[in-house]
Amino acid sequence: MVTIYDVPADALIEEVAARLEDRIDEPDWVEFTKSGAGKELPPEQEDFWYVRSASLLRKVAQNEPIGIERLATEYGSKKRGSNRYSVRPGEHEGGSRKLIRTSLQALEDEGLVTTAAGEGRRVSDEGEAFLSEVATEVFEDLDRPELERYA
């Protein structure tokens, strides 16, 4: 049985994002919002919402139970003022908590994530099955000889 740890993260996230496009809806405000306080502009990707949701699902599966504050720290970046000039050393700024919370709520409505009271979010049994199924397909599509020892 192939798990999320047996395949490269970028390939897994890309495939999960493609499947989430059919399952969850993108809010109207996503194209206008920044992904964190350290960013100057919104993301330019067309499928940013689905890629971030897939990434969040993977992070929750790896680090469960995990809360929004810790996820915001992981998705944060250095704030260096403007991109045009740096006048002082950068400080870490957290990622957008609303973006993370809304994405997790959409995954929760779909049945992939559950809330553990007082602990944070966990992946549900359906979410585990979904991720394992996607990981198996990604593993079969990979044409990388260094991963043959997992087969």
Look-up: residue for tokens 């050393």?
Answer: 89
- On whether the CB atoms of residues 4 and 62 are closer than 8 A, the answer is yes
Calculate the average pLDDT of the chain: 83
Instruction: Read off the pLDDT of each residue in 53-76 and give the average, rounded to a whole number.
Output: 88
**Rounded Cα gap, residues 12 and 29, in angstroms:** 26
- Note the pLDDT of residue 148: 62
* pLDDT range class, residue 28, cuts 50, 70, 90: confident
What digits encode the pLDDT tens for the residues 77-126?
777 666 566 666 777 887 888 889 899 999 999 889 999 888 889 999 99
| Residue ranges covered by each domain of the chain | 9-141
In 10 A of CB 100, how many CB atoms?
Answer: 26
Q: Look up the CATH number of domain 9-141.
A: 1.10.10.10
User: What was the pLDDT predicted at 59?
Assistant: 92
Gap between the Cα atoms of 56 and 60, Å rounded: 6
60, 123 contact by CB (below 8 A): yes
